[in-house]
Structure 1
Amino acid sequence: MKKVILGITGASGSIYAVRLIEVLRRHEIEIHAVVTESGRKVLDYECGIAPEELSRRVTKIYPNGDVSAAIASGSFRMDAMVILPCSMRAAGALAHGVTGDLLTRAADVTLKEGRSLILVPRETPMHAIHLENLLRLARAGAVVMPASPGFYHRPETADDLVNMIVGKICDRLGVEEELFSRWR
């Protein structure tokens, strides 16, 4: 069984994480989640999902302050980590090796172990520091996948746009899913 760590930060775009959880559960993939304090607030504000509800949707949720949690160790067996949405704060901390919480520590370990780390920033516009931090992370092995959906599949709803981004994440995770019409 596949095992994915999902980090949720306070950037707007929590709906992407909610949809990814739905898809991964359908494929019986273990989801180990860590949510920043601002991530909890945004998740509740944008999606109406409180921490108790989120804990029912994932395999396990870890307190962000618990840097001794299992997912903070390279010996924790997992297939990939996705930070969705990825705030510029989290990206900046990770780009500079500042791992002061569980989310950034787990991501740092994911890179250190050579495992797949997918960062989905939603910020726009970005200034040079944001771009330099993301470039630094890409050079370290992370996949930077901005939440900027295409329109060639002629989306009709907001769900169509969300599904495209989540579908692209699933592609990187090796999860077979047809959430959007592919270019033909």
Structure 2
Amino acid sequence: MKHIIWAALAMSGLSFPTYSQQSKAFEEEWLRSKDDHYAYYTFGGGSHRVNAQLSAHNNQIDFRLIWENEEYCSDEKLQTVTKGDVVGTVIFLVNNRKVTFAISCFDKKYVNLFPYSQSDEGKKYVLHTFDRSGGKPVKFVKQNVEASDTVYMIPSKGFSAFYDELTEATKKAL
């Protein structure tokens, strides 16, 4: 199932950057959202931009990668999927460590990837990787058999301060 979903993403017009394009990360940093004090974002490099988001929901820290792909998300097979429902999983190597990500769509327009495991170990690893990266970009790689690998370089500059804020904001009330 996950190979079918990833193949559908590949065939739906999603562009996959070449390695030379992938190695150039946008020189940006994490920024605070204008609408939500505890939501932050940045953009990653490649032949198209990927939005990385960090926020607090239901006293938990949330991390996700988002990009626009209206063709994939408006697919007839996905019309029965409720907003945010997981439609499959895919494995990315995050700084060379395998992490399972769930795939969902929202607004029939945006592909949404987030670390997905019952124990939250994948999310903890991703957050810890950003937190200890020292301002260097974090690399996300999806290995592809029949095409070039998909690589996103997500900046980490400014991540730690926002992550510390969220860690405090999601603690139980005193």
Normalising by structure 1, report the TM-score.
0.25
Considering Cα pairs closer than 8 Å and 6+ residues apart, tell me whether 1 or 2 has the greater RCO.
2
Normalising by structure 2, report the TM-score.
0.25
